[in-house]
Amino acid sequence: MEAILALLFLPLSVFAFVAVLNAFTFPRLKLPSTPPGGAELLSVLIPMRNEAAVIAPTVRSLLQQTDPHFEVLILDDGSEDGSAQVALQAANGNPRLRVLKGQPLPQGWFGKPWACHQLSTQASGSLLLFTDADVHWQPGAFSALRQQAQSTRADLLTVWPTQTTQTWGERLIVPLMAFSILAYLPVLAVHHLPSPAFAAAMGQCLLFRRSAYQQIGGHAAIRHSIVDDMAFAYAIKRHRLRLRAADANRFIHTRMYQNGRQVLWGFAKNILAGHANSPLLLLLSSLFHLMLFVLPWVLFAASLFPWQPSLAWSSFLLISLGVLTRALTALVSRQRIFDSFLLPLSVLGMTLIAVQSVLWRFTGKTQWKGRTLTPKA
């Protein structure tokens, strides 16, 4: 057993090193000292389906931006809760906002890529910002985005919003997104190595240069993708274009889900697609994380009765390394540091999500917002 713990020490050490490296090198949005140069029109593009509960504060936060050159286009994708009317009321007649009526979903498309494709054809800007209906923007966020995009000459700038979590389901699972990026993927490799293996993106904030978006085929090229952000990250890399990432630094924030059930369904929708639609790969990934972040806790408890000093100290070392790595990523991404001690519960929760995803896969009943999603074979 001690040999297994010794083997687990290597990947944990790598993750800890990557987290420390990213803590110092991951860019963060900041207000420019002077307004960004140029007057390129920024088109803010939001697909919306049954978002009446969240769209009003989003619209107000967008229209309060100090940036003088932007438009906001929202596509109502068959909402049944009056989302379009809520958005228009929140805009209070502001001409920057347009709400478009979505066209029927054609065969061979998933809903979100189709909605975003329609938005892109109606946008006037040379900068295309795809975001979600539940993402909120602090004043100056657009200026910070422009500055980051200009200074890095990004063809695609992707930004990780600060995640708001309240219920235990959210607190256990949602921060694992930041954990997986900050501990598993060096941002310097994302920025400077051409391999698609070093690619990452967050669909809550994708800022494209229109020419790059068109060069990679836009949403038509990823019409079958459930995880559209990663599909774009891979495409940008394959076309040898410039992918850049940044932390929102509280300029952009969102609460993705409202309860544990929504967390389960939302992550189960994406997790299998994030593992190349391979149940086997997802199984191996789940077992790996169970061994890495749950097994040491079990062995530590077992080593106390009877007392086994060697096993106790080995497992305690792994526990400490995992918790400290999770705590560092929580600090960087502005999450609750105390929740790092609940990492085993988070991993068990992700295992449950993986099981749900596989069940959906084999029953063909992956559900999201009233639609059945079936990955392309």
Per-residue model confidence as pLDDT tens digits over 37-86: 667 999 999 999 999 999 999 999 999 998 889 999 999 999 999 999 99
Give dist(CA 248, CA 288) in Å, integer: 30
Q: What's the whole-number mean pLDDT along residues 359-376?
A: 65
pLDDT value of residue 377: 37
Check whether 367 has a pLDDT greater than 80.
Answer: no
Contact between 225 and 277 (Cβ < 8 Å): no
Nearest to 329, CA basis, from 136, 187, 196, 176: 176
Quote the percentage of the chain above a pLDDT of 70: 95
Secondary structure string (H, E, C) spanning the chain: CHHHHHHHHHHHHHHHHHHHHHHHHCCECCCCCCCCCCCCCEEEEEEECCCCCCHHHHHHHHHCCCCCCEEEEEEECCCCCCHHHHHHHHHCCCCCEEEEECCCCCCCCCHHHHHHHHHHHHCCCCEEEEECCCEEECCCHHHHHHHHHHHHCCCEEEEECEECCCCHHHHHHCCHHHHHHHHHCCHHHHHHCCCCCCCCCCCCEEEEEHHHHHHCCHHHHHCCCCCHHHHHHHHHHHCCCCEEEEECCCCEEECCCCCHHHHHHHHHHHHCHHHCCCHHHHHHHHHHHHHHHCHHHHHHHHHECCECHHHHHHHHHHHHHHHHHHHHHHHHCCCCHHHHHHHHHHHHHHHHHHHHHHHHHHHCCEEECCEEECCCC
Per the model's pLDDT, the better-predicted residue between 263 and 306 turns out to be 263
Give dist(CA 170, CA 255) in Å, integer: 9
pLDDT value of residue 374: 53
Q: Which residues of 41-65 are buried (b: 16+ CB within 10 A; e: fewer)?
A: ebbbbbbbbbbbebbbebbebbbeb
Domain ranges for the chain, please list them.
2-22+263-373, 26-259
Residues paired with residue 252 on neighbouring β-strands, in sequence order: 137
pLDDT digits (tens, 9 = 90+) for 296-351: 999 999 999 888 888 999 999 999 999 999 999 999 999 999 999 999 999 999 99
Give dist(CA 13, CA 80) in Å, integer: 49
Q: What is the mean pLDDT of the chain?
A: 93
Per the model's pLDDT, the better-predicted residue between 10 and 38 turns out to be 10
26-259 under CATH 3.90.550.10, yes or no: yes
This prediction's pTM = 0.91
pLDDT digits (tens, 9 = 90+) for 174-222: 999 999 999 999 999 999 999 998 999 999 999 999 999 999 999 999 9
Residue 24: how many other CB atoms lie within 10 Å: 7
Check whether 376 has a pLDDT greater than 70.
Answer: no
pLDDT digits (tens, 9 = 90+) for 144-180: 999 999 999 999 999 999 999 999 999 999 999 999 9
- Across the beta sheet with 135-137, the strand order is 135-137, 252-254, 162-163
Identity of the residue numbered 285: S
